[in-house]
């Protein structure tokens, strides 16, 4: 709808130049005022089971993985590390007190409690070491990513802006007039990529560039975004939020008052109830993804001379342990030099002379 008139394929149907149109049209109240819709022939979505619901979803760039050297701390979360460090310091103090007996007020009761704590700490330490070692093996070989955004509220609170291809859908206006805080906030941060028929994807590339730059999240119908990014070779670089925005239904569009529409309704309903539409969709999308992946593999084979997916461990994977080893060597060296200096100063103070004089 532009300036009060229907344009494009809907304009052809509204003016009577065409009797019906088949495209990726959702049923909306505005369209229903001037057109007749068939029964919904397809519904879609990524995160719910059958019957699947057609939704406008949001796509974001997959976060950059953490640096390899942080792998030594990734097996545990921050609270686990803090608790482990605190218990280790407490166990050290108890061991020192038991070994030196420098605390004269220790009676039998506290002595038993300290020994029980140290026994429990020995078991806990064994479990922690086993868990850390097991998790470390996995972290060394698999990149660790920051937490992803999966809800509308998280996206609204994030620095990401929202982008959408300006092809005439109702979403920008709906977001701008939404009463829910998160949706209204996203509407205020919405940037539209202009519709350019001369470009291969009619200007949708502008939104893709914003997403790949890490500044925007894209809102659109899920199947369209999936096909778009896979076709552009970026299917593995994006992900879809679990929480989606609007739900609707796809249908054929007829002139208002079309008397033979019921024939299409009957045929479409039969195909939908038989599961044929869902089966055809799954087959076509699977073949499409497989074809693009084969093309990318052939391209990699052509440039690299190998199609092997196996990767050996390199020094890059072991950055964290190597840095930890280097840090340990530096600390132990500093401690050794400190001990020698303390011995040297103590000997000098006691003898009043340097230890090597007189030899």
Percent of the chain scored above 70 by pLDDT? 82
More confident site: 321 or 358: 321
pLDDT at 255: 95
Average pLDDT of span 333-352: 83
Chain segment 266-280, per-residue pLDDT in tens: 999 999 999 898 888
Report the pLDDT averaged over residues 58-70.
82
Average pLDDT on 100-129 reads 76
Mean of the pLDDT values across residues 300-326?
Answer: 64
Please give the Cα distance from 203 to 197 (Å, whole number): 7
Check pLDDT > 70 for residue 107: no
Question: Between helices 78-100 and 108-141, what is the axis angle to 10°?
Answer: 140
pLDDT at site 36: 95
Tell me how far apart the alpha carbons of residues 54 and 45 are, in angstroms, rounded to a whole number. 5
- Residue 209 binned pLDDT confidence (cut-offs 50, 70, 90): very high
As given in the structure block, the two tokens for residue 245 are 């925005």
Across residues 192-204, what is the average pLDDT?
A: 88
Three-state DSSP class for residue 30:
helix
DSSP 94-163: HHHHHHH---TT--HHHHHHHHHHHHHHHHHHHHHHHHHHHHHHHHHHS---PPPP-SHHHHHHSS-EEE
pTM: 0.59
Please check whether residue 149 is in contact with residue 160, taking contact to mean a CB–CB distance below 8 angstroms: yes
State both tokens at 23: 């495209």
CB 202 within 8 A of CB 24: no
pLDDT band of 295, cuts 50, 70, 90 = low
At 191 the pLDDT is 92
Tokens representing 309? 């997916």
How many C-beta atoms lie closer than 10 Å to residue 114's C-beta? 19
Mean pLDDT score of the chain: 81
Q: Give the position of tokens 């529409």.
A: 261
Determine the pLDDT at residue 336: 92
Long-range contacts of 77-81 (CB under 8 A, 24+ apart): none
- As a whole number, mean pLDDT of residues 216-225 equals 86
User: Cβ(165)–Cβ(195) under 8 Å?
Assistant: yes
pLDDT for 164 beyond 60: yes
Tell me which of 54-63, 73-82, 181-190, 340-349 is least confident. Answer: 54-63
Which of the residue ranges 127-141, 146-160, 243-257, 313-327 has the most confident prediction, judged by mean pLDDT?
146-160
Closest CA to 321 of 128, 139, 142: 139
Q: Of all residues in the chain, what percent are helix, strand and coil, respectively (each to 5)?
A: 55, 10, 35
Tokens of 205: 């590339």
Q: How far is CA 136 from the centre of its chain?
A: 21
């Amino acid at each position: 709808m532009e300036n009060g008139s229907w344009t494009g394929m809907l304009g052809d149907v509204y003016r009577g130049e065409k009797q019906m149109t088949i495209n990726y049209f959702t049923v909306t109240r505005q369209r229903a005022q001037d057109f007749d819709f068939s029964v919904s022939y397809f519904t879609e979505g990524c995160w719910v089971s059958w019957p699947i619901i057609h939704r406008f979803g949001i796509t974001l760039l997959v976060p950059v993985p953490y640096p390899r050297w942080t792998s030594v701390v990734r097996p545990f979360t921050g609270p686990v590390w803090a608790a482990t460090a605190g218990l280790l310091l407490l166990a050290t103090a108890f061991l020192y007190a038991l070994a030196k007996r420098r605390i004269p007020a220790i009676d039998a009761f506290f002595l038993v409690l300290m020994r029980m704590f140290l026994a429990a700490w020995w078991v806990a330490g064994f479990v922690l070491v086993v868990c850390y070692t097991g998790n470390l093996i996995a972290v060394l070989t698999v990149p660790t990513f920051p937490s992803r955004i999966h809800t509308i509220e998280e996206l609204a609170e994030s620095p990401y802006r929202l982008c959408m291809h300006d092809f005439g859908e109702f979403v920008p206006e709906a977001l701008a007039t939404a009463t829910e805080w998160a949706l209204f906030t996203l509407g205020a941060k919405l940037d539209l990529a202009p519709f350019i028929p001369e470009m291969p994807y009619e200007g949708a590339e502008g939104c893709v560039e914003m997403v790949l730059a890490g500044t925007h999240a894209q809102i659109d119908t899920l199947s369209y975004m999936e096909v778009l990014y896979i076709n552009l070779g970026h299917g593995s670089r994006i992900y879809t939020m679990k929480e989606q925005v609007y739900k609707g239904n796809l249908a054929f569009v007829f002139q208002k008052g079309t008397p033979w529409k019921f024939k299409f309704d009957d045929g479409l309903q039969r195909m939908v109830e038989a599961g044929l539409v869902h089966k055809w969709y799954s087959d076509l999308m699977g073949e499409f993804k497989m074809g693009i992946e084969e093309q990318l593999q052939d391209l990699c084979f052509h440039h690299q001379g190998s199609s092997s997916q196996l990767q050996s461990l390199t020094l890059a994977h072991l950055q964290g342990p190597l840095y930890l080893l280097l840090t340990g060597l530096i600390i132990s060296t500093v401690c050794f030099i400190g001990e020698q200096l303390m011995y040297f100063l103590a000997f000098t103070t006691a003898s009043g002379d340097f230890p090597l004089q007189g030899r």
